[in-house]
A and B are shown apart, each in its own frame.
Chain A
Amino acid sequence: MEKKIRVLIAKPGLDGHDRGAKVVARALRDAGMEVIYTGLHQTAPMIVETAVQEDVDVIGLSLLSGAHMTLFKDVTKLLKEKGMSDVLVLGGGIIPEEDTPALKKAGICGVFGPGTPCEDIVRFIKKNVKK
């Protein structure tokens, strides 16, 4: 029986722009993954708890409001505390390149900003997912 890659697509904070999150969710589904979408207005504890219950391999955080430095780090910090650092965490949305090094240091494995082809995200996940 084949194992499926399970991905959590989450929208942390108050940002309501979900076009990208939904398009990526569909693209991942079309690439054979099981995608759980949290919906809007998730706090870091909610995202991590969902990741626990759904036993996901990947978490994709989508944010367009500029609050990524705070909110993405909240998630990776919590994952680390729970010993879940083997979950692949990706970030997408409006994220300036100059913030990428700090995000990577905090545990975001890949940052996918405007103009990213969905293929790139699929490929990255398949290559880097731990299983």
Chain B
Amino acid sequence: MFEEKELEKIKQKKDEWEKNLYSKLVKENHELKDKFENLSGIEIKNIYTPNDISHLDYINDMNFPGEYPFLRGVHANMYRGRLWTMRQFSGFGSAEETNQRYKYLLAHGETGLSVAFDYPTLYGYDTDHQLCRGEFGKCGVAISSLKDMEILFSNIPVDKITTSMTINGPAAIVWGFYIANAENRNINRRNIGGTIQNDILKEYIAQKSFIFPPEPSMRLIVDTFEFGFKEVPRWNTISISGYHIREAGSTAVQELAFTLGDGLEYVRWAVKRGLIIDDFAPRLSFFFNAHNDFFEEIAKYRAARRIWAKELKKLGAKKPRSLLMRFHTQTAGCSLTAQQPEINITRVTLQALAAILGGTQSLHTNSMDEALALPSEKAVRIALRTQQIIAEESGVTSTVDPLGGSYYIEWLTDKMEEETYKYFDRVEKLGGVIPAIEKGFFQREIAEAAYKYQKEIDENRRAIVGVNKYKMDEPIEIPILKIDEKGEERQINRLKKLRKERDKSKFEKNRNSLRKAAEGDENLMPYILDCVHSYATLGETCGVLREVFGEYKEPAIY
């Protein structure tokens, strides 16, 4: 990208600058740290120059937005044409309460919906299951049946707005609820848009809300790819996630490497089934974390796009839509502090900005009170406003990939790509993603990184404002969102009523058909939809799959 002679001159000038100005300064006053490292442990230099990126070829390595390798963005005009979707992850208590919160958020300017489910739902249990004691509605909304889904989206135009659902183990079934609900409202399944997270590999690695063992889980996921491509073409049937891997304690490089590794594994399984890569790849989407190290995060997103494009090309994808990586971002929950909660607003702002400068398609900003509770209305409103201020007032949306060409950013993007490929090699040597999971490779890397990070904080080598530096002795005052206690009773009664009033023979017949299909190798989505339409509950439907597929037990890794 740069002329040879100019590079020589610059190098010489830099050496002089370092010897004369810089070293003198450092000798007089030591720098604030012995080593400046980012959160992945990559050492950051004092300054970056054209020499650091002289190997880059603009056309081949960077190119223009909307063109391979999509480094600078997946669309030609990015936010000049359309802003990222403001999509706040949300859900608590029963469907009625969450429906109200969705209406609130939509009224305040969010442009996409995102559903958080409670633990019983995430595990495919109905609210009244014995293992679910105390868990109803505490960390998300309880959805046990099609009836609940109907209430959740009542008076919300699901044909005009897209919905993302954070559900993994029972994703296919919950997707079934969503599709069935739309169809019952005379909305064609071809006209609904949204995403199911449906990323089981990261569950084994980080979030741990898996149900079945790897093989049947992958089968179910490929079923959704196939069904989605044929029947629900506007739907992203997977959101390959790094967010949770990061939250579990990984570094940014690990988040990048493990997520993309998972993504490639899904592609391999689908291709093994016989699906054509250009058919399903356009509907694969991703989900990243936006953590504290501002520039590292930006470099991470850019590297992600380039690596994905390269790898999908290697796997034979030809359509540009197959090669471009679309992603949602959420600001880092694990960076929020309970101490001095208002300052979380500042953290979230910086993190959101990084995601936007990194070219995210969709964004969730955390609320300041989320270190200890689900967001109150005021807190979530401020979080939404944070996105709106960046969009309307900061000017960063006026040009595409504003940081492209920055010596530091391009160097760091390259470095992260390099580190990612090192991880790809290691995983390959272990036999691939699933063998590596069974050997506990990812889990161990993450646990190590988490422990190292905590030690740095405990030993005051890493400052967290309000926690180990600039502390205050005031009591932590975070208004805790109160879940309506009566909601659980209402839900259980609703379930009882549903089980009594539905057509029992239809329910039985569909359940048995699902069981038979699960034992074979047909696509399960149509059978799941039949169960859903006959008002089988989540627990009952998932229960069949539990019987056939068995449950997964994880290895103990520290």
Contacts and interface: CB of A to CB of B under 8 A. Distances in A.
A18 B204 CA distance: 12
Interface in B376-430: none
A119 to B, nearest CB: 6
A18 B208 contact: yes
A15 B138 CA distance: 11
Interface stretch (A62-70, A80-88, A101-109): A62-70
A47 to B, nearest CB: 13
Contacts of B367: none
A113 B341 CA distance: 14
B475 A16 contact: no
Given A19-B249, A97-B476, A98-B480, A40 B554 contact: yes
B135 to A, nearest CB: 5
B372 A113 contact: yes
Interface string A75-101: 000000000000000000011111000
Given A13-B135, A18-B208, A65-B119, A115 B467 contact: yes
A32 interface: no
A118 B454 contact: yes
Interface string A5-40: 000000001111111001101110000000001011
Given A19-B450, A94-B372, A70 B475 contact: no
Contacts of A19: 247-249, 334, 446-447, 450
A26 B131 contact: no
Contact of A22 (B122, B135, B447, B464): B447
Given A65-B139, A114-B338, A70 B133 contact: yes
Interface residues of A, number: 36
Contact of A16 (B208, B337, B483): B208
B372 A25 contact: no
Q: For chain B, what secondary structure do more than half of its interface residues adopt (helix, strand, loop), or is it mixed?
A: loop
A14 B248 contact: no
B468 A39 contact: no
Given A19-B249, A40-B554, A96-B372, A14 B119 contact: yes
A114 B466 CA distance: 12
B554 A66 contact: no
Contacts of A13: 119, 133-135
Contacts of A64: 139
A41 interface: yes
Contacts of B468: 117
Interface string B54-93: 0000000000000000000000000000000000000000
A18 B125 CA distance: 21
A119 B139 contact: no
A43 interface: yes
B120 A22 contact: no
A114 to B, nearest CB: 4
A7 B556 CA distance: 16
B463 interface: no
A44 to B, nearest CB: 9
Contacts, number: 105
Contact of B133 (A17, A27, A41, A71): A71
A98 B476 CA distance: 9
Given A14-B120, A43-B131, A96-B480, A27 B454 contact: yes
A122 to B, nearest CB: 10
Contacts of A17: 207-208, 247-248
B36 interface: no
Given A19-B248, A39-B554, A113-B338, A96 B454 contact: no
Question: Which of A65, A95, A115 has the most chain B CB atoms inside 10 A of its CB?
Answer: A115
A18 B446 CA distance: 11
B209 interface: yes
A69 B131 contact: no
A89 B454 CA distance: 23
A115 B339 contact: yes
Contact of B337 (A26, A115, A119): A115
Contact of A67 (B138, B337, B457, B556): B138
A15 B483 CA distance: 18
Given A14-B123, A71-B133, A118-B454, A66 B139 contact: yes
Interface in B132-164: 132-135, 138-139
A114 B340 CA distance: 12
A119 B119 contact: no
Contacts of B483: 66
Contacts of B451: 22-23, 26-27
B556 A37 contact: yes
B492 interface: no
B478 interface: yes
Contacts of B2: none
Contacts of A23: 249, 447, 450-451, 454
B558 interface: yes
A23 B453 CA distance: 10
A71 B133 CA distance: 8
A22 B457 contact: no
A22 B338 CA distance: 20
A15 B466 CA distance: 27
5 contacts: A15-B119, A23-B249, A71-B133, A97-B476, A114-B371
Nearest 4 pairs of A and B residues by beta carbon: A70-B134, A16-B208, A66-B138, A67-B134
Interface of A: 13-19, 22-23, 25-27, 37, 39-41, 43, 64-67, 69-71, 74, 94-98, 113-115, 117-119
Given A16-B207, A115-B337, 15 more contacts: A14-B132, A15-B119, A16-B208, A19-B249, A26-B447, A39-B554, A43-B131, A65-B135, A65-B139, A66-B139, A67-B135, A69-B134, A74-B134, A96-B372, A114-B372
